[in-house]
Amino acid sequence: MKVNGKEYRTVWLEGSTVKLIDQHKLPHAFEVATCRTHRDTAEAIRTMLVRGAGAIGASAGYAMAQAVLEAPEAAFASFLEQAASLIRATRPTAHDLFYAVEGVLQAIRHAKDPAQARQQAVRRAEQLADENANAGEAIGRVGAALLRDGVRVMTHCNAGWLAFVDWGSALAPIYHAHRQGRALSVYVNETRPRSQGAKLTAWELAQEGVAHTVIADTAAGSLFRHGQVDCVIVGADRIAANGDVVNKIGTYTLAVLAKHHGVPFYVAAPRSTFDVTLDDGSKIPIEERSPEEVTWVSGLTAQGRMERVRITPEGSAAKNPAFDMTPAELVASFITEGGVLPPSRDAIRAFVSAKRLPADSIVHHPA
């Protein structure tokens, strides 16, 4: 995707250094952060300097490759075991992270020596990043077919190219439809408490020239009630075998609203986000983040300074679950790089195992 006319990926590798778009600085400044060690990259994931399931996965793959490059030959295996544990602990919910760490470890499992392992680790990490970018592009092509001219889409959090290596998941169909000349507009939920919608999704859509309106999360119900939403598209951090979806907190609310008002609720996600080892969404761990994300906000002052201010009384407690679970029955369809599929066990297992989906299992709910 382009920033001020220049093409970027969200995360990439230069030698042994990981480069990341610093999402803490957006939308007020565009900067690229440098992570020289696997610990630096793990910290970037933990602190959400990089976030979004696909981008987390690619960053984790690169972090694991960095660890292989850094590992001393005398303690090669133990160093990698510790590094993998560190990376896995950064964000417990997103399946792409675990998928990438395991992918790099699998790639070096039969290496004849550390030198070969280093080559294979870097190669696999680059492949994982490319797979994520390619999946995002394919999701965009598949999902664009569901968006008619004039459609009004609601989205939540940020599941665009900043959340992937490129293209994204939920925003990719919007980008494809826009580039095909279709007129569409997007309602961008601000997504408290970290405001990824207001800060990141709105910034992305502005870069692409897509018409959009930022709304308070609590305004969504009123828009549904007045018939101003044609479909909802969100991303996902992990999808269980039965089709239950864990995504940014507030997703469940939108799914209930969409179901009540007869509006299609789509979940866009690549194969790497599906976790068929978990029978249903109740088994997916929900990350609990610092209460300070709720009690404090940061932003740009009229004087051009970034400042952080408290918005609650000092004595008030706060709870901050980062994700919620949306049951499969509220999902109209999954938009994947392999096609549009229903939230059923059979369709999900066929997709994850890369088998061809039977034609009658693919469903479309055009907006």
What is the secondary structure of 136-168 as a DSSP string?
Answer: HHHHHHHHHTT--TT-EEEE-S--SGGGSSSS-
285 and 320 in one domain? yes
Q: Which of 96, 166, 230, 237 is catalytic?
A: 237
349 and 286 in one domain? yes
**89 part of a folded domain:** yes
6 and 49 in one domain? yes
Q: What is the pLDDT of residue 4?
A: 80
134: helix, strand or coil: helix
Q: Known catalytic residue: 237?
A: yes
**367 part of a folded domain:** no
Average pLDDT over residues 127-145: 96
- Which of 107, 136, 165 terminates a domain? The answer is 136
Structure tokens at 361: 């299992």
Residue 2 has pLDDT above 90, yes or no: no
Q: What is the pLDDT of residue 38?
A: 98
Q: What is the pLDDT of residue 26?
A: 95
- Sign (positive or negative) of CA dihedral 36, 38, 40, 44: positive
Task: Kindly report which listed range (4-13, 28-37, 167-176, 257-266) carries the lowest average pLDDT score.
Answer: 4-13
Range of the domain at 157: 147-361
Average pLDDT over residues 136-156: 97
Looking up residue 233, the CATH number of its domain turns out to be: 3.40.50.10470
- Pick 349 or 3 by higher pLDDT: 349
Say if CB 269 and CB 351 are below 8 A apart: no
Average pLDDT over residues 96-102: 96
Residue 229 exposed, middle or buried by CB count within 10 Å (0-12, 13-18, 19+): buried
**141 part of a folded domain:** no
Q: What is the pLDDT of residues 182-215, one digit of tens each?
A: 999 999 999 999 999 999 999 999 999 999 999 9
CA distances from 54 to 5, 45, 246 (A): 23, 12, 14
306 and 223 in one domain? yes
Residue 359 has pLDDT above 80, yes or no: no
Count: domains in the chain:
2
Looking up residue 24, the CATH number of its domain turns out to be: 1.20.120.420
242 and 124 in one domain? no
The percent of residues in the chain predicted with pLDDT above 90, rounded, is: 93
332 and 183 in one domain? yes
- Which of 114, 136, 158 terminates a domain? The answer is 136
Structure tokens at 226: 């007045």
